[in-house]
Chain A
Amino acid sequence: GAVVSQHPSWVICKSGTSVKIECRSLDFQATTMFWYRQFPKQSLMLMATSNEGSKATYEQGVEKDKFLINHASLTLSTLTVTSAHPEDSSFYICSASQGGDHQPQHFGDGTRLSIL
């Protein structure tokens, strides 16, 4: 149980394009999902906490107009990177927990985004 699916796995696109990444909890309901970014050989960096039915909570330094998060249902959250530029190239990973503050976060497989 506790499977999180993330799509797409790879995206290569031109600068200025907007890219949408989907994160789905397949066998449980997730009121909260998390979006991370990871550069090569660096630790996970939390970008935002996505709450079902309300606005996402962004970490300091993360532009909310740049990284749009929508958590429309208990099983789906989306991250849209708007007008992407080469510096946005990174590994983006979502996670969700089954509920309860002591539950582990289960991660999607990640999306490798390359902006040309």
Chain B
Amino acid sequence: GQNIDQPTEMTATEGAIVQINCTYQTSGFNGLFWYQQHAGEAPTFLSYNVLDGLEEKGRFSSFLSRSKGYSYLLLKELQMKDSASYLCAAINSNYQLIWGAGTKLIIKP
């Protein structure tokens, strides 16, 4: 089967760094997305990785290892507004998007 695994919930402190991991098993692979979703709102696009390595976008970075079926989202200089769910989604060989259940990130002062 196809599935995405990511932790259900994480807690971090304002100003700190947090890494949210995602492992995937899909029938073929054509890239991986990270989305942010605040409670009661729709998801917003954060990043896309298809090649191995780190993609940096300001305070957020995303890493991919295709051989390990693994990705992480790194958030630096955490702010209270970063409290949200972070969704990992992989594209399979049929270009279908396989969604993870999301990681709820709680930021404490």
Contact = CB atoms under 8 A, between A and B. Distances in A.
Given A43-B100, A46-B97, A101 B30 contact: yes
B44 A102 contact: no
A43 B42 contact: no
A108 B42 contact: yes
Interface in A1-49: 6, 34, 42-44, 46
A104 interface: yes
A107 B35 CA distance: 10
A42 B30 CA distance: 25
Interface in B1-46: 30-31, 33, 40-45
A104 B99 contact: no
Contacts, number: 40
B101 A43 contact: yes
A contact face: mostly helix, strand, loop, or mixed? loop
B43 A102 contact: no
B55 to A, nearest CB: 13
A6 B43 CA distance: 13
A105 interface: yes
Majority secondary structure, B binding face:
loop
Interface string A36-73: 00000011101000000000000000000000000000
A43 B99 contact: yes
Interface residues of B, number: 19
A57 to B, nearest CB: 10
- Bin the interface of chain A by size: 10 to 19
B87 interface: yes
Nearest to A104: B45
B105 interface: no
Interface of A: 6, 34, 42-44, 46, 91, 93, 101-102, 104-110, 112
17 contacts: A6-B42, A43-B87, A43-B99, A43-B100, A44-B87, A46-B97, A93-B42, A93-B43, A101-B95, A102-B48, A102-B50, A104-B45, A107-B42, A107-B43, A107-B44, A110-B41, A112-B40
Closest 6 interchain pairs by CB? A107-B42, A43-B101, A101-B95, A104-B45, A110-B42, A93-B42
